[in-house]
Structures are given as structure tokens and as C-alpha cells.
Amino acid sequence: MLSEFFQSILQLLFPPGPYCYFCGSSLKSWEVYWCSRCKKEISINKGLQCRKCARFITGGEMCSFCQKDNYPFTVARSAGLYDGKLKEALQEFKFRGKRSLAKPLGRLLALEAIKDERFLEADLIIPVPMHRVKLAQRGYNQSELLAKEVAVKLGIPFEKDVLVKIRHTADMVGLGREERSKNLQGAFFVQDHNIVLQKSILLIDDIFTTGFTALSCSETLLKAGAKKVLVLTAASNFDIYS
């Protein structure tokens, strides 16, 4: 068995070829970041989406939440359903420290954004912030890494610390609709209103689940003077309120 030293030397002399970030298989010359099989799986999982929030629905044009209430953001879009390869990749990225997945996931987000000119006209890209306690525990903000990738690919300015999370909130899992809303009240704050004033903001997050994080962040940005907020996430769930 080769020692770690000789293995590292061999990798320097004969680096491994490009591979799929999602499944690890070798990429063909025409493939970038992910193989055709994984790309097809993500595309297959993309069915009907609510025209307002991009939550997946079984029919109609809007999810049950958007039929009754109105999110403060202009529109939300998602690259795919939170299932299969995309779900696996996001869990690896978010919970298991695989930061290299920011590149392929960021590309998915950018490809979704270019389908709607409103996203391309954004003045500023801002990530959903993480409270300093949780940031210290995880070591990085996955939404920030995604936002940086999208900013580079779309050529839109990126701002990291304009929107901050000032209150550490409870885990949203298991909370009802009203509890989720109360949990995020007053959790976000805009540090410099001049940066967002009359700007079209593209807000980046990893997953659109209940929508309350996007709602709270959007309200905060709009109250600080933003002209409008558009939301872009890597994945979203099915209509959980139906």
C-alpha cells in the first residue's frame, strides 16, 4: 500500500479527471460540473411550480398559500425539487461541509435566473444571513457561498453584511405556520439602508421550504427602502399548506 506521501505525489503528477459533483462519475468532454444522468434526474423532478413562490404544485397556477396570502417579494424561483440527487447534494453541502458543491449548485441557480429577465436586472445580490452562533457552529454560510457563485456568473454586485440576522431563532422543524412566523419576527436587520435604497435585490438561499425566511428577509429589505426583492433558491418543496 502506498503511503499518503506517495499518493499525494501521484495525484500531483497524474491529477484525476473531471468528475460529477453529484455522483462522482467521470464527465464527458461536453459535460460541466454534473453528468447527463444527474442533470436529467434534476430536470425530471421539475414539474408544475407556483408562479409566485415556485413551490411545487399538482395543478393550477398558484399554491394554496399564495392563493390566500401575498408574499412581499416580487417573485421566487427554484432550480429544482428538494428530492433525489439535488436533495443529497444540498445535504452534503449544508450539513457535511462539502463546500465544493457551491460551484455546481451556484451554476444551477444562475441557469434558473437567466430564464427570467427580472433576475438579470437585479442591482444587488444578497444571501440570507446566518446568526453568528450558528455560523460559528457550522463554520460557513451555505447561502453566502451560493450567492457569491451566482454573482460571478451573472455579473451582479454581491454584498455580504448588509442584511444580518440579529436574533438566534429556534429550529423551524415541527413548528406550525403561526409559530414559524413569530419565530422570525425581528430576526433580521439592514445595517446600511443606503446600500439597498431603491435597489432591486436578488436574495439567495439554499431551500425554499415554508417561505417564512424569504418573507421575513424581504419585509426587512423593503422596509429599509429596497425597490423590490426577488428570491432564488436551489430547491423548493411541494405545497405543504394544501
pLDDT tens digit sequence for 78-103: 999 999 889 999 999 999 999 999 99
CA 74, 75, 78: angle at the middle one, nearest 5?
A: 155
Above 90 in pLDDT, residue 17? no
Predicted pLDDT at 120? 95
CATH fold for domain 48-236: Rossmann fold (3.40.50)
Q: Which of 86, 80, 79 is nearest to 101 (CA)?
A: 86
* Per-domain boundaries in the chain: 48-236
pLDDT level of residue 3 (50, 70, 90 thresholds)? low
Q: What's at 115, amino acid-wise?
A: K
Question: Cα separation of 147 and 130, whole Å?
Answer: 13
Angle at 127 between CA 201 and CA 102, to 5 degrees: 125
Q: What is the pLDDT of residue 146?
A: 97
24: pLDDT strictly greater than 70: yes
Q: What is the mean pLDDT of residues 108-134?
A: 94
CA 179 – CA 29 distance, rounded (Å): 50
Helix (H) or strand (E) holding 9: helix 4-13
pLDDT, the chain, mean: 87
Phi and psi at 93, nearest 5°, equal -70, -45
Burial class (CB in 10 A: 0-12, 13-18, 19+), 3: exposed
CA distances from 226 to 118, 191, 238 (A): 15, 13, 29
* 19: number of Cβ within 10 Å: 15
pLDDT at 31: 84
Residue 10: pLDDT band (50, 70, 90) is very low
Where does the pLDDT of residue 2 fall: very low under 50, low under 70, confident under 90, or very high at 90 and above? very low
Model confidence over 189-213: pLDDT tens digits? 999 999 999 999 999 999 998 888 9
Cβ contacts of residue 137 below 8 Å, gap of 6+? none
d(CA 149, CA 83): 22
Best CA proximity match to 120, nearest among 6, 240, 232:
232
- Residue 14: is its pLDDT beyond 50? no
Mean pLDDT, residues 117-124 taken together: 96
Higher-confidence residue of 171 and 106: namely: 106
Percentage of the chain beyond pLDDT 70 is 86
The three cell numbers of residue 219 are 419585509
Per-residue pLDDT tens for 141-185?
999 999 999 999 999 999 999 999 998 776 655 555 566 556 677
